[in-house]
Amino acid sequence: MHNFDLLMTLAAGFLGSTVFGYITHRLGLSPIVGYLLAGVLVGPHSPGFVANKDLTGQLAEVGVILLMFGVGLQFHLKDLLAVKRLAIGGAVCASTAVTVLGAVVAHLFGWGWPAGIVYGMTLSVASTVVLTRVLADSGQLHSPGGRSAVGWLVVEDINTVVMLLLLPVIFGPAGSRPASLPVSLALAALKLAFFVVFTWFAAGRAIPWLLKKIAETRSRELFTLAVLAVALGVAVGSAYLFGVSMALGAFLAGMVVGQSDFSARAGAEALPMKDAFAVMFFLSVGMLFDPRYLLQAPLLTLATLAIVMIGKPLAAMTIVAVLGYSSRIGLGVAFALAQIGEFSFLLGTLGTQLGVLPAGAMNPLVAAAIFSIMLSPALFRMAPAMERFLARHPRLWRLLNRRAAHVIAGRNEADETPPHRAVVVGYGPVGRTVTRLLRERGIEPTIIEMNIETHRKLRETGIRAVYGDANQREVLEQAGVATAASFILSTSGTAESSEGIRIARQINPHLHVVSRVDFLSLAPVLRRAGADEVFAGEGEVALAMTDSILRKLGATPEQLDEERARIRTELFQTPAPRG
């Protein structure tokens, strides 16, 4: 019966999310809105089928872990260090400001100051899942604003871990001992520091070694299992051994793998389930929502939502400007953080269990979370329009950009464009020849290679290489297809290659795609997928043999050119190039 309950929950959740996600997408809204509505539909506060809330929550937690691991794969340490000043200073100051604002509002509604402070803390933490989805959907995950927002959120997550450790000390039985607070604070800091050091240095050596051994087996299933084991194992171990949140543990594990040669392949092959499980998170949030509460306490809900979507962005925007960053980065960070989610629920639940928050405190929190998550994608898309609005009002623009480091911001944006202008798939005899020709003409290629030893040798010789399957979007994006001029498939092309060409065309519609195939029958398939030129082994052999025979028979150069053009048209079904 339990298995049937699980299957019913999965079926109802995925079916409802698919239907409502499609409808909201067609209406020009984020699919996240559809997932939340599906959660309300299968929740206990609406008629009809009720999904298992406990199972949904557990599946959602797996989604958060896998999503954070995926973010860690793409968020390198240098990116975090590059925004450390903004992330640390901004997150601490903004969290403090929102906490104070939330405490004041709660106090005005008759709550005590301790309850107000805890309630303010819940409003100061943005949702990791929502942030990464909004940034990824808008293509801004690796932009200066996106990196800043992710770094900001990492600091918020660390602050939340400390809060979760300190709340039982302050408000629980142990809080009566004066020495318990500083001791617990020092213990929490020590645990965090030890966890980071252990994961980065100990696991930083063990995990790449393990993945290397698994990759040498050439088994895709084993590699997938190994990466999932690393993501879930480090996440669970971080909570069990160090008291750190599993999401933060998974993020750090992803950063460790991201520094290795396996980052692209891990993201492409081992995490296909992360989006499906992340949907369960939004579904679980929707199931918590009771529409009747909006009629019972509308003012508190509106005040909470105003803090999240107006107070928090204004605080973030002000702090970014004070720290000397441009308004464009400030708008991106402010709008990306204008929501709350999973960590808010953790803090709210703990505060309720400790008796600090009143019994009904979770209702306005859940309502604000749902509406902020629904509106967050649309709000984030308003950032360019707001930047144009500021540009039309020079005084306001100068106020927000008075101390902005334009040169630094410009350099960061320039760094987003990698130096290479071509992506070559495979480093066999054809790939080596193409790579040599490109480098001799000042074009630095990036090689996509599935052989780990070949990949390592390329890196050792200074050639940029990405380890992974060229049919995976994550691998193509890491290779830099978005900014490349040419995409060259030098390996023996098959029908499966059409998927890589199709995805590359989606990423960069202006890409010049050249592909190799062994058999002429496959050439039309790759052309339909988007290849500009396809060269078949059979056709090239026919051309070479024809050229040899005609030369032996004494054909003139003009006759040779004419026959080559005719054969190309017959075999490749494309006009011969004009010379």
Give the domain CATH number at 467.
3.40.50.720
Same domain, 93 and 163: yes
Q: Which residues contact 99 (CB under 8 A, 6 or more apart)?
A: 117, 120, 121, 123, 124
Positive or negative: CA dihedral 300, 304, 306, 307: positive
pTM above 0.75, yes or no: no
- For residues 300 and 448, state if they share a domain: no
Residues 298, 309: Cα–Cα separation, whole Å: 16
- Is the pLDDT assigned to residue 572 strictly greater than 70? no
Higher pLDDT, 271 or 576: 271
Tell me the pLDDT band of 438, cut-offs 50, 70 and 90: confident
- Do 393 and 450 belong to one domain? no
- Is 452 contained in some domain? yes
Q: Give residue 418's pLDDT.
A: 43
Mean pLDDT over the full length of the chain: 78
- The token duo for 298 is 């509308």
SS3 30: coil
Does 131 share its domain with 217? yes
Cβ distance 64 to 275 under 8 Å?
A: no
Q: Which of 399, 414, 431 is the last residue of a domain?
A: 399
User: 284 or 141: whose pLDDT is higher?
Assistant: 284
Dihedral over Cα of 31, 35, 40, 41: its sign: positive
According to the model, what pLDDT value does residue 307 have? 93
In a domain, 189, yes or no: yes
| Percent of the chain residues past pLDDT 90, beyond the cut | 7
251: in domain: yes
* Claim to verify: residue 444 and residue 389 sit in the same structural domain: no
Tell whether 395 and 426 lie within a shared domain: no
Nearest to 275 by CA among 118, 129, 166: 129
In a domain, residue 257? The reply is: yes
Share of the chain above pLDDT 70, in %: 84
Last residue of a domain, one of 363, 384, 399: 399
For the stretch 100-140, pLDDT in tens is 999 999 999 888 888 999 999 999 888 777 777 777 766 66
Query: Which residues span the domain enclosing 204?
Result: 58-273+293-399
Question: What is the mean pLDDT of the segment spanning 184-210?
Answer: 76
- pLDDT for residue 367 is more than 60: yes
Task: Specify if 455 maps to a domain.
Answer: yes
Helix ranges, 172-243 (H) = 180-197, 204-216, 220-242
- 262 burial (CB, 10 Å; 0-12 / 13-18 / 19+) is buried
Exposed/middle/buried for residue 406 (C-beta within 10 Å: 0-12, 13-18, 19+) = exposed
126 within a domain of the structure (yes/no) = yes
Same domain, 459 and 349: no
Of 54-58, 176-180, 510-514, 519-523, the least confident = 176-180
The answer to whether residue 106 sits within a structural domain is: yes
Question: Is residue 98 in a domain?
Answer: yes
Whether residue 576 is predicted with pLDDT greater than 50 in this model: the reply is no
What's the structural domain count of the chain? 2
Clarify whether residues 446 and 346 are in a common domain.
no
* 322 and 449 part of one domain: no
Highest mean pLDDT among 53-62, 113-122, 199-208, 381-390 belongs to 113-122
Shared-domain flag, residues 297 and 349 = yes
Last residue of a domain, one of 531, 552, 569: 531
Q: Determine which of 65-69, 319-323, 572-576 has the lowest per-residue pLDDT on average.
A: 572-576
Burial of 3 (0-12, 13-18, 19+ CB in 10 A): exposed
Which pLDDT does position 538 carry in this prediction?
67
pLDDT higher than threshold 60 for residue 41: yes
Kindly report the CATH number assigned to the domain that includes residue 94.
Answer: 1.20.1530.20
CA distance linking residue 66 with residue 275, whole number of Å: 9
Cβ pair 388, 394 in contact under 8 A: no
CA 82 to chain centroid? 18
**477 and 371 assigned to the same domain:** no
Handedness of CA 537, 542, 547, 552 (dihedral sign): positive
3-state secondary structure of 460: helix
The answer to whether residues 204 and 114 belong to one domain is yes
Angle, to 10 degrees, between the axis of helix 84-108 and the axis of helix 298-306? 160
